[in-house]
Amino acid sequence: MTETPEPAKPSFRSDVTVELVKHSAGDADVLFAARVSTAGEQSLEEVTKDPERSKGLINFLMRDRHGSPFEHNSMTFFISAPIFVFREFMRHRVGWSYNEESGRYRQLEPVFYVPDESRKLVQQGRPGKYEFVEGTQAQHELTGRVMEDSYRQAYEAYQEMLAAGVAREVARSVLPVGLYSSMYATCNARSLMHFLGLRTQHEMATVPSFPQREIEMVGQRMEEHWARLMPLTHEAFNKNGRVAP
């Protein structure tokens, strides 16, 4: 006799996953694209001739905001994060491509976001001029307990509807935005720089940004991968105030 599998039980995370799954990206991509305007087909031969001159050219392009040479590259990331992070991600449309897992075609796994104690909980100030400060131990305990209870109840309702034959695309409506989803996101260096300028806080940024912490966590991990692939471009980005060209 076949045993009925145990219903999946909710699990809880406070982190995000960002993996660089493939890329065609390097500082040389910027150099040959920029030099074609003066060197034509010989621009490929110029890439390795003078490293300092190449560094200066990338900085010039960044400083004077000649942006198109930074588009001739590609990076694809696999990202796992709460759904509310992806809803913010979709605000970035130029230079990005997305494919996310579907709750219409597969049963969604019960993995949910609960912030850890490093997450500032209390918002102070008015919109446009507010800050987040540390929460009390009681606030953190309340947040964790209430969120976990809510997630369990929502997933039980989801499973009940699925067991009764309700379509996945209907049953998923009861699930909260704290549910983890996964997607592939593909971008180029120029579109990533624009994302980082808005979604991360940094001491070298000349334009202030006020990102939600969870999408900033994703941005920081993407930036780590990109910095290794294109160190001269990343250096110029920081040097020139972290403003996308």
Catalytic center residues: 199
Neighbours of 188 (CB within 10 A): 18
CA triple 157-158-163, angle to 5 deg = 95
Residue 244 near residue 193, CB atoms below 8 Å: yes
Candidates 176, 145, 144, 172; CA nearest to 158 is 172
List C-alpha distances in Å: 171 to 87, 102, 110, 174, 175: 20, 13, 13, 6, 8
